Structure 1
């Protein structure tokens, strides 16, 4: 299945889709030196979150999906050069609302979260006044 959402995003920064099937997505991200928050190579958590968010969007895979909320936990640090893999699954669907669980791993679990996504009738910016 091909991506139907976030088509303009930088795959270098949020990861490369490995699998997209109905309600499920897996995305891999090779962490880069420019993602480092310090001189020891600690990857800024925003990149881990961005990977997980992108995987959640692909699990829904609708052109008009947006993130409404996230409950997340960072469980272990990530060092530049590590490869992250996010697996996201839609676990609940109610009208426009989708609950997506996501786990990000290296050789261990480093992040987990539940993303509340919404499938809108049109592009989110079209609703702006």
Structure 2
């Protein structure tokens, strides 16, 4: 399936799409030193959240999809060198509103879980701005 959203995203920071299909996606991210929050190599949660958000956007795969809200839980720490996989699955669709569940794992263990509320706007959110 063609990717129709977030075409300019930096995939080195948000992940590389592995699969994209209607209502689902999979994204892989290698955690690098520039994502580290401290000298121990702990990955800042913002990068993991960004990856999960990107996976949610890809599962909707519309040029005007935006994030309206999220409930998320960080379950385990990630470190420099970890390879993370985000799997997104649409749970509900009501008109322009999409509810997407995203789980991020490393070596088979879930490190992050979230539910993302996405909307497809009638026009780009920056149109006319």
Which TM-score band (shorter chain)?
Answer: over 0.9
Judged with a 3 Å threshold, the aligned counterparts in structure 2 of structure 1 residues 63 and 93 are, in CA distance, closer, same or farther, namely same
Q: CA deviation at 1:127?
A: 5.8
Are 2:118 and 1:117 equivalent residues in the alignment? yes
Query: 2:49 maps to which residue?
Result: 49
Greater shift in the superposed pair: 118-127 or 53-62: 118-127
Query: 2:77 maps to which residue?
Result: 77
Aligned residue pair count: 128
CA RMSD between the two structures: 0.8
Superposed counterparts of 1:76-115, under 5 Å:
76-107=76-107, 108-115=109-116
User: Residue by residue, what CA displacement relative to the aligned partner does 1:26-48 show, whole Å, maximum 9, x if unpaired?
Assistant: 00000100100000000000000
For structure 1, the residue ranges without an aligned partner over 5 or more in a row are none
Judged with a 3 Å threshold, the aligned counterparts in structure 2 of structure 1 residues 127 and 110 are, in CA distance, closer, same or farther, namely farther
For structure 2, the residue ranges without an aligned partner over 5 or more in a row are none
Q: CA deviation at 1:126?
A: 1.4
Partners in 2 of 1:48 and 1:104 — Cα distance? 8
Q: CA deviation at 1:2?
A: 1.7
Partners in 1 of 2:48 and 2:60 — Cα distance? 19
| TM value normalised by structure 2 | 0.97
